[in-house]
Amino acid sequence: MHIPDGFLDLKTIVATGVASAGALSYSMKKSREELSERQLPALGIMAAFIFAGQMINFPVAGGTSGHLLGAALATALLGPWSASLVLATVLIVQALFFQDGGITALGAGILNMATIAVFVAHVTYRLAGKLRVNEYVASFVAAWLSVMAASTATAFELAFSGTVSLAVALPAMTSVHALIGIGEGIITAVAVMFVRGFNKAHVTNASLQRGDRI
Protein backbone atom coordinates (compact mmCIF):
# COMPACT_ATOMS: atom_id res chain seq x y z
CA MET A 1 0.00 0.00 0.00
CA HIS A 2 3.04 2.28 -0.04
CA ILE A 3 2.45 3.99 -3.40
CA PRO A 4 5.64 5.00 -5.27
CA ASP A 5 6.18 8.38 -6.93
CA GLY A 6 4.70 8.62 -10.41
CA PHE A 7 1.73 6.35 -9.78
CA LEU A 8 -0.76 9.12 -8.91
CA ASP A 9 -1.78 12.07 -11.05
CA LEU A 10 -1.84 15.67 -9.85
CA LYS A 11 -5.54 15.84 -8.98
CA THR A 12 -5.29 12.72 -6.81
CA ILE A 13 -2.10 13.94 -5.14
CA VAL A 14 -3.72 17.28 -4.28
CA ALA A 15 -7.04 15.80 -3.16
CA THR A 16 -5.48 13.16 -0.90
CA GLY A 17 -2.96 15.67 0.43
CA VAL A 18 -5.67 18.14 1.42
CA ALA A 19 -7.80 15.39 2.97
CA SER A 20 -4.83 14.04 4.94
CA ALA A 21 -3.81 17.48 6.16
CA GLY A 22 -7.34 18.15 7.39
CA ALA A 23 -7.59 14.80 9.12
CA LEU A 24 -4.22 15.19 10.85
CA SER A 25 -5.06 18.72 11.95
CA TYR A 26 -8.23 17.48 13.59
CA SER A 27 -6.40 14.53 15.18
CA MET A 28 -3.81 16.92 16.64
CA LYS A 29 -6.56 19.07 18.12
CA LYS A 30 -8.35 16.12 19.69
CA SER A 31 -5.09 14.60 20.97
CA ARG A 32 -4.18 17.84 22.75
CA GLU A 33 -7.55 17.76 24.49
CA GLU A 34 -7.26 14.14 25.62
CA LEU A 35 -3.56 13.44 26.17
CA SER A 36 -1.54 14.24 29.27
CA GLU A 37 2.25 14.65 29.30
CA ARG A 38 2.62 11.29 31.04
CA GLN A 39 0.99 9.57 28.06
CA LEU A 40 3.31 11.06 25.44
CA PRO A 41 6.02 8.37 25.83
CA ALA A 42 3.42 5.74 24.92
CA LEU A 43 3.02 7.38 21.51
CA GLY A 44 6.75 7.16 20.89
CA ILE A 45 6.88 3.54 21.96
CA MET A 46 3.93 2.65 19.72
CA ALA A 47 5.48 4.50 16.77
CA ALA A 48 8.75 2.62 17.25
CA PHE A 49 6.93 -0.72 17.52
CA ILE A 50 4.87 -0.14 14.38
CA PHE A 51 7.92 1.11 12.50
CA ALA A 52 9.84 -2.02 13.44
CA GLY A 53 6.83 -4.22 12.68
CA GLN A 54 6.47 -2.75 9.21
CA MET A 55 10.08 -3.63 8.45
CA ILE A 56 9.38 -7.34 9.00
CA ASN A 57 7.59 -9.07 6.12
CA PHE A 58 5.65 -12.33 6.40
CA PRO A 59 5.00 -14.59 3.38
CA VAL A 60 1.66 -14.59 1.60
CA ALA A 61 0.40 -16.83 -1.21
CA GLY A 62 1.93 -16.53 -4.65
CA GLY A 63 5.34 -15.35 -3.50
CA THR A 64 4.02 -12.04 -2.19
CA SER A 65 4.59 -10.76 1.32
CA GLY A 66 2.91 -8.47 3.80
CA HIS A 67 3.80 -6.54 6.93
CA LEU A 68 2.08 -5.08 9.95
CA LEU A 69 -0.01 -1.99 9.20
CA GLY A 70 -0.66 -1.28 12.87
CA ALA A 71 -3.76 0.90 12.55
CA ALA A 72 -6.03 -1.36 14.59
CA LEU A 73 -3.32 -2.04 17.18
CA ALA A 74 -2.57 1.65 17.71
CA THR A 75 -6.30 2.44 17.84
CA ALA A 76 -6.95 -0.24 20.46
CA LEU A 77 -4.15 0.97 22.73
CA LEU A 78 -4.05 4.73 22.11
CA GLY A 79 -7.42 5.72 20.69
CA PRO A 80 -8.11 6.93 17.13
CA TRP A 81 -6.66 10.45 17.33
CA SER A 82 -3.27 9.44 18.71
CA ALA A 83 -3.23 6.36 16.48
CA SER A 84 -3.66 8.55 13.41
CA LEU A 85 -0.72 10.75 14.44
CA VAL A 86 1.48 7.74 15.19
CA LEU A 87 0.76 6.10 11.83
CA ALA A 88 1.31 9.38 9.98
CA THR A 89 4.67 9.88 11.71
CA VAL A 90 5.80 6.38 10.77
CA LEU A 91 4.76 6.89 7.14
CA ILE A 92 6.53 10.25 6.90
CA VAL A 93 9.78 8.82 8.30
CA GLN A 94 9.58 5.82 5.95
CA ALA A 95 9.01 8.01 2.89
CA LEU A 96 11.66 10.62 3.72
CA PHE A 97 14.47 8.40 4.96
CA PHE A 98 13.80 4.88 3.65
CA GLN A 99 12.11 5.57 0.29
CA ASP A 100 9.25 3.31 1.35
CA GLY A 101 6.46 5.04 -0.54
CA GLY A 102 6.83 8.14 -2.69
CA ILE A 103 6.97 11.69 -1.37
CA THR A 104 4.30 12.83 -3.81
CA ALA A 105 2.07 9.94 -2.72
CA LEU A 106 2.56 10.63 0.99
CA GLY A 107 -0.84 12.30 1.29
CA ALA A 108 -2.51 9.22 -0.17
CA GLY A 109 -0.57 6.92 2.14
CA ILE A 110 -1.54 8.92 5.21
CA LEU A 111 -5.15 9.06 4.07
CA ASN A 112 -5.30 5.31 3.47
CA MET A 113 -3.32 3.96 6.41
CA ALA A 114 -3.39 6.68 9.07
CA THR A 115 -6.92 7.95 8.49
CA ILE A 116 -9.22 5.47 6.73
CA ALA A 117 -7.70 2.37 8.34
CA VAL A 118 -7.78 3.97 11.79
CA PHE A 119 -11.37 5.16 11.32
CA VAL A 120 -12.53 1.70 10.24
CA ALA A 121 -10.77 0.10 13.20
CA HIS A 122 -12.29 2.63 15.61
CA VAL A 123 -15.82 2.08 14.29
CA THR A 124 -15.32 -1.69 14.49
CA TYR A 125 -14.18 -1.50 18.12
CA ARG A 126 -17.13 0.68 19.08
CA LEU A 127 -19.59 -1.64 17.37
CA ALA A 128 -17.95 -4.68 18.95
CA GLY A 129 -18.22 -3.01 22.35
CA LYS A 130 -21.93 -2.42 21.92
CA LEU A 131 -22.40 -6.02 20.83
CA ARG A 132 -20.18 -7.24 23.69
CA VAL A 133 -17.82 -9.07 21.36
CA ASN A 134 -14.66 -10.47 22.96
CA GLU A 135 -11.91 -7.84 22.79
CA TYR A 136 -9.42 -10.14 21.11
CA VAL A 137 -11.92 -11.24 18.48
CA ALA A 138 -12.75 -7.59 17.94
CA SER A 139 -9.04 -6.81 17.53
CA PHE A 140 -8.68 -9.45 14.84
CA VAL A 141 -11.75 -8.25 12.94
CA ALA A 142 -10.78 -4.58 13.27
CA ALA A 143 -7.30 -5.31 11.97
CA TRP A 144 -8.56 -7.31 8.99
CA LEU A 145 -11.13 -4.67 8.06
CA SER A 146 -8.61 -1.84 8.41
CA VAL A 147 -6.25 -3.55 5.97
CA MET A 148 -9.06 -4.19 3.51
CA ALA A 149 -10.27 -0.59 3.73
CA ALA A 150 -6.79 0.83 3.13
CA SER A 151 -6.13 -1.50 0.20
CA THR A 152 -9.50 -0.66 -1.35
CA ALA A 153 -8.80 3.07 -1.07
CA THR A 154 -5.41 2.52 -2.71
CA ALA A 155 -7.06 0.71 -5.63
CA PHE A 156 -9.50 3.57 -6.16
CA GLU A 157 -6.70 6.16 -6.08
CA LEU A 158 -4.70 4.25 -8.68
CA ALA A 159 -7.81 3.95 -10.84
CA PHE A 160 -8.69 7.65 -10.50
CA SER A 161 -5.14 8.49 -11.56
CA GLY A 162 -5.45 6.34 -14.67
CA THR A 163 -2.54 4.16 -13.60
CA VAL A 164 -4.60 0.99 -13.81
CA SER A 165 -8.29 0.28 -14.26
CA LEU A 166 -10.41 -0.33 -11.18
CA ALA A 167 -11.46 -3.70 -12.61
CA VAL A 168 -7.83 -4.77 -12.36
CA ALA A 169 -6.66 -2.83 -9.30
CA LEU A 170 -9.50 -3.64 -6.92
CA PRO A 171 -9.46 -7.46 -7.11
CA ALA A 172 -5.66 -7.50 -7.23
CA MET A 173 -5.32 -5.35 -4.10
CA THR A 174 -8.13 -6.88 -2.07
CA SER A 175 -7.33 -10.52 -2.82
CA VAL A 176 -3.74 -10.22 -1.63
CA HIS A 177 -4.60 -8.00 1.32
CA ALA A 178 -7.39 -10.31 2.44
CA LEU A 179 -4.60 -12.77 3.24
CA ILE A 180 -2.29 -10.10 4.63
CA GLY A 181 -5.17 -8.99 6.86
CA ILE A 182 -5.25 -12.41 8.50
CA GLY A 183 -1.64 -12.00 9.57
CA GLU A 184 -2.42 -8.45 10.69
CA GLY A 185 -5.36 -9.70 12.72
CA ILE A 186 -3.36 -12.40 14.48
CA ILE A 187 -0.50 -10.02 15.34
CA THR A 188 -2.93 -7.38 16.58
CA ALA A 189 -4.94 -9.76 18.74
CA VAL A 190 -1.79 -11.26 20.30
CA ALA A 191 -0.27 -7.83 20.93
CA VAL A 192 -3.45 -6.52 22.55
CA MET A 193 -3.67 -9.69 24.67
CA PHE A 194 -0.05 -9.24 25.80
CA VAL A 195 -0.47 -5.55 26.68
CA ARG A 196 -3.73 -6.11 28.53
CA GLY A 197 -2.19 -9.00 30.45
CA PHE A 198 0.88 -6.96 31.32
CA ASN A 199 -1.23 -4.03 32.53
CA LYS A 200 -3.41 -6.33 34.63
CA ALA A 201 -0.35 -7.92 36.21
CA HIS A 202 1.16 -4.50 36.88
CA VAL A 203 -2.03 -3.29 38.61
CA THR A 204 -2.22 -6.47 40.65
CA ASN A 205 1.41 -6.14 41.80
CA ALA A 206 0.87 -2.50 42.69
CA SER A 207 -2.20 -3.41 44.73
CA LEU A 208 -0.30 -6.15 46.58
CA GLN A 209 2.52 -3.76 47.41
CA ARG A 210 -0.01 -1.33 48.89
CA GLY A 211 -1.62 -4.16 50.84
CA ASP A 212 -4.93 -3.87 48.99
CA ARG A 213 -7.28 -6.82 48.94
CA ILE A 214 -7.70 -8.39 45.48
d(CA 144, CA 188): 9
The secondary structure element, H or E, covering residue 43 is: helix 40-54
* pLDDT tens by residue, 129-179: 999 999 999 999 999 999 999 999 999 999 999 999 999 989 988 998 999
d(CA 71, CA 67): 12
What residue ranges define each of the domains in the chain, with the CATH number in brackets? Answer: 10-206 (1.10.1760.20)
d(CA 187, CA 182): 9
Which residues are 65's β-sheet partners? 59
Q: CB within 8 A of 160, min separation 6: which ones?
A: 9, 11, 12
* pLDDT tens by residue, 100-122: 889 999 999 999 999 999 999 99
With H, G, I as helix, E, B as strand and everything else as coil, classify residue 58. Answer: strand
The secondary structure element, H or E, covering residue 65 is: strand 65-67
